[in-house]
Structure 1
Amino acid sequence: MGAGESLPVSFSAPSLAKKLQLVFSTTGDFADKKNRLAVKVPAGMTSFSVPEKILAKVKKKDNGDGLVSCRLEDADSKKTTIQPSAAAQITLP
């Protein structure tokens, strides 16, 4: 990780979504809590930067291939019935 490195993220979400979080998975299995890391999305935002500190945690969980999946989820999905977004795959630096 380079000093001051961050990951810019932009998205759109249904207005019903209440507690958005960006979820990283090092295996692609988002149900596996050992290999997943959730980052709260600031309320009312449609873009933000994932800081270097969080990226370092994601990299620490990486299984060595440098690839991680991420998707947007509503932490309150049981109430709102908002489904997770499609997963995107990113390459860690």
Structure 2
Amino acid sequence: MNRNQLINALSEKTGLDKKDVRRTIDEMQRLIIQEAKEGQRICLHGFGSFKPRLQTSRPARNPRNGTTVQLSPRTIIHFKCAPLLLEQMNDK
């Protein structure tokens, strides 16, 4: 499912206008990014949590020519599923 399909599905299920659903998704994305930039953990109960994590400098290999390069340290976002989500995904 891509972004537009998600917007269409949410619009149908909630009865909200597609424009409102799009604005809500955009704002949610902005808030998650803003909080993560400030080093905050974002927890969505029953779904999972997003947490910024520092990835240290490390060597990597260029797949085209095999040369090694040193990647600089950077902040990544780590997502951890909630136990409830994992349980629902694995119900039979």
**TM-score class, shorter:** under 0.3
TM-score (norm 1): 0.25
Q: Which one has the largest radius of gyration? A: 2
Please identify which structure carries the higher helix content.
2
Bigger relative contact order (CA 8 A; separation at least 6):
1
